[in-house]
Amino acid sequence: MSEATVQATTVQEAQTVAGRRERTYGRGKRSRAAALGLHAGLVLATVIAVFPVLWIVFASFKPGYAQLSSQITLIRDPTLENYRSVLFDTNFPRWFLNSIIVAGFTMLIGIFMSATTGYAVSRYNFPGRRGLMWTLLVTQMFPVAVLIVPIYTIMANLGLINTPVSLIIAYCTVAVPFCAWLLKGYFDTIPRDLDEAGALDGLGPFGVFWRIVLPLSRPGLAVTAFFTFLTAWGEVAYASSFIQTDRRFTLAYGLQQFVPQFNAQWQYLTAAAVMVTIPAAIVFLLVQRNLVAGLTAGGTKG
């Protein structure tokens, strides 16, 4: 083959590759109208999501008469009196403490039960394993309205009505099955060779779980902590059924006291709603680095 023929073939191949790249780039490149429509949609979705939150924040600084005014204004006669009244003239601090106790213990117990259950289901073959997995899945199919009556009966027989313990147990029954499935999928992604290496170093089953598997499972544990905390922090149905005295209310149920049937106090409700979101936001900030990794773990294998 002559040198000219080789050069012509090389030039033709280069042109073919360049053409393929150009076609691929052309398919991936959006038109100006499509890009404009995409960004407009994203901006609209952001406004729809953020606007109610900002409206509540601005409304929390309005006095009562401005809340009921027919004039639509973001800020009118701003004042901090709403926050002062909620903090010092109501049982809000007590409700806040009750919610912290209930949500904190629900999170700790939920993490421990979910992690141990998920690890056992992931690593061991034992009689009833498949039945346990199905039970964890089926329990998520029942609505809260169906579960309130039997759980209330159990709590009443145990003498736990009107105590934080009843709420902690009820919330764990909601959160643990889902979180156990979540962590089981995460533990499946951790190589079993690490378990065997730990056993060769003299660690028992719990030692392998505590010293090797758990430190590698921080993203999954972060999602479990966030989910269990939010389950207890914002729940109303169980709290309204199991708690009977004002000083034992949780925040989610206590906020209803600001909107009675004939004299709704919207200025106090909005101020309290803003303060309720602060602990949840703090928990989110603490675990947000691991949330995406924890939620997507177990989605693929290999």
**In this predicted model, what pLDDT tens digit does every residue of 33-71 receive, in sequence order?**
888 888 889 999 998 988 888 888 888 888 877 776 666
Backbone angles phi and psi of 30, in degrees to 5? -85, 150
pLDDT score at 160: 92
The fraction of the chain above a pLDDT of 70, given in percent, is 82
| Interatomic CA distance for residues 224 and 228, integer angstroms | 6
The torsion of the CA quartet 252, 254, 258, 262, rounded to 10 degrees, works out to: 100
Instruction: Give the long-range contacts of residues 242-246, CB within 8 A, separation 24 or more.
Output: 242/152, 242/155, 242/160, 242/161, 242/162, 242/166, 242/167, 242/170, 243/162, 243/167, 244/161, 244/162, 245/162, 246/91
Q: Which residue has the tokens 């939620």?
A: 295
pLDDT score at 253: 86
| Interatomic CA distance for residues 270 and 57, integer angstroms | 7
Low-confidence ranges of the chain (pLDDT < 50): 3-11, 14, 17, 22, 24-27, 298-302
Taking the alpha carbons at both ends of the chain, their separation in whole angstroms is 47
Is residue 297 within 8 A of residue 229, CB to CB? The reply is no
Helices (H) and strands (E) in the chain, counts: 14, 0
pLDDT score at 111: 93
Secondary structure class of 253 (helix, strand, coil): helix
pLDDT score at 17: 47
pLDDT score at 133: 84
DSSP 188: H
- The residue extents of the domains of the chain are 1-30, 87-296
The domain made up of 87-296 has a fold known as MetI-like fold (1.10.3720)
pLDDT score at 164: 93
pLDDT score at 203: 87
Q: How would you label 150-175 residue by residue, b for 16+ Cβ within 10 Å and e otherwise?
A: ebbeebeeeebeeebebbbbbbbebb
Secondary structure class of 2 (helix, strand, coil): coil
| Interatomic CA distance for residues 276 and 57, integer angstroms | 12
Q: Which one, of 190, 207, 210, 191, lies nearest residue 199 by Cα?
A: 207
pLDDT score at 172: 92
pLDDT score at 166: 93
Is residue 205 within 8 A of residue 119, CB to CB? The reply is no
